[in-house]
């Protein structure tokens, strides 16, 4: 038989459990986060003063550090003792699971409490998803700042973001969500920002949970011109608003029974639109000869009906449309009617300001997909928080999205996870990004086979899976997509990934010998036929024979007859060269090879003639290398070869004529050349990138230019750009080897430091040079300038970036006529290309794609500006506000 003490202990435990179960049931749907509470401490716990269950916030945010308020400060709620502060990143976001379409009251509290001992109070912004909500400014709020909003989420996920706006560090003490009835606090549009909520009483008690089951906070308010009246009886509060009993048990009336009842509130922001909710409950049992009846005037406008509050029954009057208050001063008046024997009565007031959230969140399916990808690969990037696409200034790194038109949810169109340390299989969640146009997973440690779902993603136009450890055959459906315009980059030969394909059956030795003999015989017959066919050609033809020699940088012969040129390119004599240039009358410029002259063929075709100087450091080998390369490359962004001359000591190359000269000339502004617009510069950069991309990926064997610079970017009459001067170019096979060893060559400033240090040449050497070229296009600074604090353009740009002002980096000749977003993207791309480590540089396909996105963004922003300009008064001119430009990311 149990002892009385044991029975009592069991009873106490049971009672405690019932109380806690009841409290937990009452708080169903509540989210109460004690921000900065270490998970190792008691979590969850019950807040002693309110009975609310609070948990650590560590599972809801990936960033931030833990702080504690100064212990010497007056005692406060336990949930305010710790805080989370965010010294890193611009936007840091909590992600909460909610129920789509449910009305929530969200409350954020920030208490500085001198947690860092610096006595510097923070100032920052709060965002709900992609939309600005409110500014937190704790300079004059020693006891902290609490902000509320009533909001209906459009999805099952809700982001609350702290955004750094100045030098101080954002902080947060607690974050709370409370579900509300969906038929309450309804707006025409937008959300409701809490402005005032108070009950009228002479008491000083603040009411919240458990008095208010929805945990609304009611502050007391009283004025000497009022008289306090109350009851001990409970009222019927079943009208939906569930106003607390303590609010309905107390009310005020004018101290002067004949006076008007008046309450005035001054708005923080005079232009705010306001919703009013007023709560009544008669607390006095009226006699037969008594009556209480009054009219309600809100900003001098009368509500539809006269009010006569019912005894011990809640009545709520609300405005159905928002109103603005003249001069930011709102006025509520209660005026007794002539039939009333008693003055007006009022229990409580709620005032809310409308917050219009215009920007739609990114499509929910895309958000779920990208977050699964993030989780799958452990991508804990500081910028990968909050909405992936909007606002545009917080766009996730290595992502791009469709137009951020506020009327449609943005869609993710570009995912670049190159060199991100990805491991394992290709994430299945990628297939849920149904609007994805470009996918780059190159240079990772991905394994397994290429999934078939990639072929079903019809919007995909580029897939880069190179430099991974994938196995198996490429799905046939994916190969078929290439005929529809898909660009696919993979490793391996014959569309089979390295070391993984089924070995073909071996032929018997005799069969193999027979096949080899037959193949050799067929080849010999073909060669004989070719020889006979060529013999029948006229011996006086000026056209040179087709190429049959593979390019080689080590061939020493200088006889041009040993270099095969196709039928469309001619061999000229030196006298013809002198005739076409009118005895070298008009020089166009000078390079390492020699002087370039203007020429005319057949009286109409303009050409550029490059003559080898006798003193040139470059010679026959470079001449031959350039001819060989230009014979086998055909691309709109590479200068084409018209012909050549090889007559004893006279060597000349004849090119198509580019009427606008080189890019360097136009950037310098010399000789009265016009300033290149930002969009034109982007297009020139795209043209140059496409030329390099062709050399790297379109040629077999692949080519490295080795001398990418602004003087080798030539412009035609329409300012289309073409890459020139291939005397230093080298070819090498792509396979297991991605580089060759060569004598280092190039132009100081543009030269890849890794190539210079190791002598190992690779396509990434061109990428570095292109990055320097892009910085030159962006800044119009000299690549090397000893008069600057940082002489090299890359170091100077990095130095300027630390100051966070892009206007000091962009070419001043542009006069701010550019989109800051496209400028930032181009600048980030240039710095990425010019990374000292070749492994961290993008390839030229990625570069070209990103530049196209920059240009698209620039054109889009310009068209929007023009639309806005056309809708405005013709007397008002558009100007660039440099204060609105983003700081360095």
Retrieve residue 786's tokens. 């000893």
C-alpha 822/C-alpha 683 separation (Å) is 12
Q: 353 forms bridges with which residues in the sheet?
A: 193, 274
Q: Tens digits of per-residue pLDDT, 76-90?
A: 888 999 999 999 999
What is the sign, positive or negative, of the torsion defined by CA atoms of 320, 326, 330, 334? negative
Which residues, 6 or more positions from 539, have their beta carbon under 8 angstroms from its beta carbon? none
Total residue length of the chain:
889
CA 367 to chain centre: 13
C-alpha 198/C-alpha 193 separation (Å) is 15
Residues designated as active site? 707
Q: What pLDDT sits at residue 363?
A: 94
Q: What pLDDT sits at residue 724?
A: 87
Task: Measure Cα distances from 185 to 160, 191, 215, 884 in Å.
Answer: 21, 9, 15, 35
Q: What pLDDT sits at residue 484?
A: 86
> Residue 701: is the preceding peptide bond cis (ω within 30°)?
yes
Residue 194, SS3 per DSSP: strand
C-alpha 86/C-alpha 88 separation (Å) is 6
For the chain, give percent helix, strand, coil, nearest 5: 25, 25, 50
Q: What pLDDT sits at residue 646?
A: 84
C-alpha 815/C-alpha 817 separation (Å) is 6
Q: Residue 887 carries which DSSP code?
A: P
User: Which residues does the annotation place in the binding site for ATP?
Assistant: 610
C-alpha 411/C-alpha 743 separation (Å) is 48
Which residues, 6 or more positions from 116, have their beta carbon under 8 angstroms from its beta carbon? 67, 85, 169
If you search the block for the tokens 């050799």, which residue do you land on? 520
Domains of the chain: 27-180 (2.60.120.260), 194-355 (2.60.120), 364-489 (3.80.10.10), 560-656 (3.30.200.20), 663-871 (1.10.510.10)
Mean pLDDT for back-to-back runs of 10 residues, the chain (889 residues): 40 39 68 93 87 95 95 88 96 95 96 96 96 94 94 94 96 97 88 96 96 97 96 95 97 92 94 96 96 95 90 94 94 95 97 93 95 94 94 91 79 93 94 95 93 94 92 89 88 56 42 45 50 43 32 33 46 91 88 83 90 65 72 82 84 89 81 80 95 85 87 91 81 47 75 85 91 96 89 91 80 89 91 91 92 87 60 34 31
User: Which residues does the annotation place in the binding site?
Assistant: 610
CB of 593 within 8 A of CB of 725?
yes
CB of 30 within 8 A of CB of 215?
yes
Q: What pLDDT sits at residue 452?
A: 92
The DSSP bridge pattern shows strands 329-336 and 294-298 to be antiparallel
CB of 443 within 8 A of CB of 467?
yes
Task: Measure Cα distances from 199 to 218, 224, 263, 653 in Å.
Answer: 6, 15, 13, 91
Q: What pLDDT sits at residue 635?
A: 84
Retrieve residue 557's tokens. 């012969």
CB of 765 within 8 A of CB of 752?
yes
Q: What pLDDT sits at residue 416?
A: 93
Q: Tens digits of per-residue pLDDT, 236-246?
A: 999 999 999 99
CB of 159 within 8 A of CB of 144?
no
Q: What pLDDT sits at residue 564?
A: 42
Q: What pLDDT sits at residue 210?
A: 94
The contacts found for 494-499 with CB under 8 angstroms, 24 or more apart, are: 497/450, 497/470, 497/471, 497/472, 497/473, 498/471, 499/471
C-alpha 724/C-alpha 637 separation (Å) is 9
């Amino acid at each position: 038989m149990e002892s009385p003490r044991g029975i009592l202990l069991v009873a106490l435990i049971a009672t405690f459990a019932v109380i806690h179960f009841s409290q937990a049931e009452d708080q169903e749907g509540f989210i109460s986060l004690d921000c900065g509470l270490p998970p190792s401490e008691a979590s969850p716990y019950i807040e002693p003063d309110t009975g609310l269950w609070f948990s650590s916030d560590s599972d809801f945010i990936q960033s931030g550090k833990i702080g504690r308020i100064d212990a010497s400060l007056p005692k406060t709620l336990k949930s305010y003792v710790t805080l989370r502060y965010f010294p890193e990143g611009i936007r840091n976001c909590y992600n909460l699971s909610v129920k789509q379409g449910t009305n929530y009251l969200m409350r954020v509290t920030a208490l500085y409490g001198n947690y860092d001992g610096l006595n510097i109070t923070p100032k920052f912004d709060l965002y709900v998803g992609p939309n600005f909500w409110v500014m937190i400014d704790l300079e004059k709020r020693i006891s902290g700042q609490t902000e509320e909003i009533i909001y209906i989420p459009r999805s099952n996920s809700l982001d609350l973001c702290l955004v750094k706006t100045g030098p101080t560090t954002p902080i947060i003490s607690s974050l709370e969500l409370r579900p509300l009835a969906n038929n309450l606090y309804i707006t025409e549009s937008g959300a409701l920002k809490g402005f005032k909520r108070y009950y009228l009483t002479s008491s000083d008690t603040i009411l919240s949970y458990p008095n208010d089951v929805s945990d609304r906070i009611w502050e007391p308010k009283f004025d000497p011109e009022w008289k306090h009246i109350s009851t001990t009886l409970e009222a019927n509060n079943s009208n939906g608003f569930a106003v607390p009993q303590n609010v309905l048990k107390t009310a005020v009336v004018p101290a002067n029974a004949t006076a008007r009842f008046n309450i005035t509130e001054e708005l923080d922001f005079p232009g705010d639109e306001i919703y009013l909710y007023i709560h009544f409950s008669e607390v006095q049992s009226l006699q037969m000869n008594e009556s209480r009846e009054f009219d309600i005037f809100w900003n001098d406008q009368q509500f539809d009906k006269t009010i006569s509050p019912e005894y011990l029954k809640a009545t709520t009057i609300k405005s159905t449309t928002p109103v603005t208050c003249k001069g930011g001063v709102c006025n509520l008046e209660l005026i007794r009617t002539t039939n009333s024997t008693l003055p007006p009565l009022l229990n409580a007031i709620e005032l809310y300001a409308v917050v219009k959230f215009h920007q739609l969140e990114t499509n929910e399916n895309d958000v779920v997909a990208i977050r699964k990808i993030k989780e799958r690969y452990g991508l804990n990037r500081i910028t990968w928080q909050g909405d992936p696409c909007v606002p545009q200034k917080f766009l996730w790194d290595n992502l791009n999205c469709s137009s951020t038109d506020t009327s449609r949810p943005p869609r993710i169109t570009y995912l670049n996870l190159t060199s991100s340390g990805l491991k394992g299989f290709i994430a299945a969640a990628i297939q849920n990004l149904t609007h994805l146009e470009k996918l780059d997973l190159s240079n990772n440690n991905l394994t397994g086979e290429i999934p078939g779902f990639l072929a079903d993603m019809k919007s995909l136009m580029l897939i880069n899976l190179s430099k991974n450890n994938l196995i198996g055959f490429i799905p046939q459906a994916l190969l078929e997509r290439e005929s529809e315009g898909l660009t696919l980059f993979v490793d391996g030969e014959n569309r089979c990934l390295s070391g993984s394909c089924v070995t073909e059956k071996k032929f018997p030795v005799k069969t193999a010998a027979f096949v080899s003999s037959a193949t050799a015989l067929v080849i010999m017959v073909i060669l004989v036929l070719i020889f006979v066919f060529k013999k029948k050609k006229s011996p006086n033809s000026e056209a040179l024979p087709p190429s049959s020699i593979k390019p080689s940088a080590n061939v020493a012969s200088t006889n041009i007859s040993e270099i095969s040129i196709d039928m469309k390119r001619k061999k000229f004599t030196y006298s013809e060269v002198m005739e076409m240039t009118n005895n070298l009358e008009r020089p166009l410029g000078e390079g390492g090879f020699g002087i370039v002259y203007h020429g005319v063929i057949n009286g109409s075709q303009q050409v550029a003639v490059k003559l080898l100087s006798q003193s040139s450091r470059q010679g026959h080998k470079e001449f031959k290398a350039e001819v060989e390369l230009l014979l086998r490359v055909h691309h709109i962004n590479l200068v084409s070869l018209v012909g050549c001359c090889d007559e004893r000591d006279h060597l000349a190359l004849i090119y198509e004529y580019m009427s606008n000269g080189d890019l360097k000339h136009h950037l310098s502004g010399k000789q009265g050349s016009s300033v290149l617009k930002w969009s034109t510069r982007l297009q020139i950069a795209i043209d140059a990138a496409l030329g390099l991309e062709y050399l790297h990926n379109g040629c077999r064997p692949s080519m490295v230019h080795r001398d990418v610079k602004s003087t080798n970017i030539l412009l035609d009459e329409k300012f289309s750009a073409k890459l020139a001067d291939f005397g230093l170019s080298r070819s090498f096979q792509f396979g297991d080897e991605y580089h060759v060893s060569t004598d280092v060559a190039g132009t100081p400033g543009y030269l890849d430091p890794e190539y210079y240090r190791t002598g190992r040449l690779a396509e990434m050497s061109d990428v570095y040079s292109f990055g320097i070229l892009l910085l030159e296009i962006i800044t119009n600074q000299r690549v090397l300038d000893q008069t600057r604090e940082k002489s090299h353009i890359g170091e100077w740009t990095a130095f300027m970036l630390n100051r966070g002002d892009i206007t000091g980096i962009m070419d001043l000749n542009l006069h701010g006529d550019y989109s800051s977003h496209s400028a930032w993207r181009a600048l980030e791309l240039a710095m990425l290309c010019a990374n000292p480590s070749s492994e961290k540089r993008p390839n030229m396909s990625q570069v070209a794609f990103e530049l196209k996105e920059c240009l698209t963004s620039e054109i889009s922003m310009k068209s929007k500006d023009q639309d806005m300009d056309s809708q405005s008064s013709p007397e008002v001119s558009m100007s660039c506000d440099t204060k609105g430009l983003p700081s360095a990311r």
